[in-house]
Amino acid sequence: MTAASHIAGARAERGFTLVEALVALAIVSMIVISYIGIRTTALIDATQARNWRLAREIAEEKMSELRAGAREVPPTSGDLVELEKFPEFAFKVVIGEAAVNELESSLASAAAGGDEAAADRNEWQQNRENYRRAQQGGMTAAEYDEQRLMQEQDTALRLQQEPPSATKFEVVAVAVYFPKLDPDYEGQKDALVIKARLSTLAISGKTPEQAEREAAAIGDGAEGGDGAAGGNPTNGGAR
């Protein structure tokens, strides 16, 4: 055996050198870290997909309840309701075209987040849409904004004062809010919105018979008021 082969054999018996061990450890660490990163990203994506799916199921369930008139108490437009079954989820019902448009506008602005360009673009688009609607109605933008606020108030007042009807409809939106998983928007919420046109009878949660009795009571009250008003001049004339 030569001296060179003897030295090689001795090195083989000693195993890896310290440098070789460190290189091997670095390679293994990179592989493990990459694997953990992939697993974490996959977990976040799966959770996000689950949240969006759950939000849609909640929104559709609440809209189905409204459409079927299954609520004993009509919803208050704009009130946020926490869900006991899903603590990080909440929803609200918005009633009336003006209120729904305002909801969509606010959600678009929130979705822009810290992106000033996106926020400016959303604001410009909303202003352009408002201006277009104002022109269609022969109004200025300021007059349109004032009318929109009055419409929101009128919708709430009309639903309180008018008897519910199967032939009168309102635009209704259900918005579901849930945690935003993007680390750049920690503490913020994502939102999913679905819309439909529902009868005021369905929104009220009353049966057709109850609605008929309510309409009859209002009609009787109006007739009684007319009669009383008509009686005063007669009585005055008698005196």
Choose among 122, 142, 126: nearest CA to 134. Answer: 142
d(CA 65, CA 75): 11
Q: Residue 233: what pLDDT?
A: 39
> Would you state the pLDDT for residue 197?
94
CB 90 within 8 A of CB 176: yes
Question: What are the structural domain ranges in the chain?
Answer: 32-111+150-205
What tokens does 132 get? 């277009």
Question: Chunked in runs of 10, what are the mean pLDDT values of the chain (239 residues)?
Answer: 51 62 73 65 82 95 92 86 92 91 82 56 62 74 67 69 87 93 77 94 88 79 48 38
For residue 30, how many C-alpha atoms fall within 13 Å in the half-sphere facing its CB?
6
pLDDT value, residue 144? 64
> Which pLDDT score, from 0 to 100, does residue 239 have?
32
HSE-CB at 68 with a 13 A cutoff on CA atoms is: 8
Nearest residue to 171 (alpha-carbon basis) of 82, 66, 79, 52: 66
Q: What pLDDT was estimated at residue 152?
A: 61
64 CB-side CA count, 13 A: 6
Contact 71, 206 (CB under 8 A): no
The pLDDT score that the predictor gives to residue 60 is: 96
Are the C-beta atoms of residues 67 and 93 closer than 8 Å to each other?
no
